[in-house]
């Protein structure tokens, strides 16, 4: 792996993290409430784009940079799980279950849609 690829991973990882912050903050501000809508939108949109990239069948370096660096930093499993745990701790069991079920269902659907679109481009 070249130095340029390593730098690309670092830069795109930073870009992905900043994008996650901006999208989460914007969505959470507009859709305030108990449901963690910001991270939900981040994860579903990330699944859609990653599915699209998989459908495009990028080469290994492009897949590393776009999928692992950019989208890996953009999406966030740990925040999703922590927010779900916090909903449970706040006795909002219905919202916690909805966060898990809806995130999984729509995440898989978004990834499949993205892959379908990618294979047709």
Domain ranges of the chain: 1-117
Tell whether pTM > 0.75.
yes
Answer for the pair 47, 110: CB distance below 8 angstroms, yes or no: yes
Q: Is 88 annotated as a binding residue?
A: no
Answer for the pair 112, 50: CB distance below 8 angstroms, yes or no: no
Query: CB 93: neighbour CB atoms within 10 A?
Result: 10
- pLDDT at position 73 over 90: yes
3-state secondary structure of 120: coil
Distance CA(1)–CA(4), nearest Å, equals 8
Distance CA(114)–CA(48), nearest Å, equals 5
The length of the chain, given as a count of residues: 121
Q: What is the pLDDT of residues 83-120, one digit of tens each?
A: 999 999 999 999 999 999 999 999 999 999 999 999 99
pLDDT at 121: 94
State the burial class of residue 24 (Cβ atoms within 10 Å of its Cβ: 0-12, 13-18, 19+).
buried
Lookup: tokens for 38: 């910001």
Q: Is 75 annotated as a binding residue?
A: yes
């Amino acid at each position: 792996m070249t130095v340029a690829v390593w730098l690309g991973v670092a830069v795109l990882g930073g870009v992905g993290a900043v994008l996650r912050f901006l999208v989460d903050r914007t969505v959470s501000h507009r859709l305030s409430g108990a449901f963690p809508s910001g991270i939900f939108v981040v994860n579903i949109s990330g699944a859609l784009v990653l599915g699209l990239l998989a459908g495009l069948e990028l080469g290994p370096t492009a897949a590393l940079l776009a999928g692992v660096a950019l989208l890996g930093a953009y999406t966030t499993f740990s925040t999703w799980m922590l927010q779900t745990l916090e909903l449970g701790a706040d006795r909002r069991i219905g919202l916690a279950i909805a966060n898990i079920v809806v995130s999984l269902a729509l995440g898989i659907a978004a990834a499949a849609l993205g892959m379908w679109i990618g294979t047709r481009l």
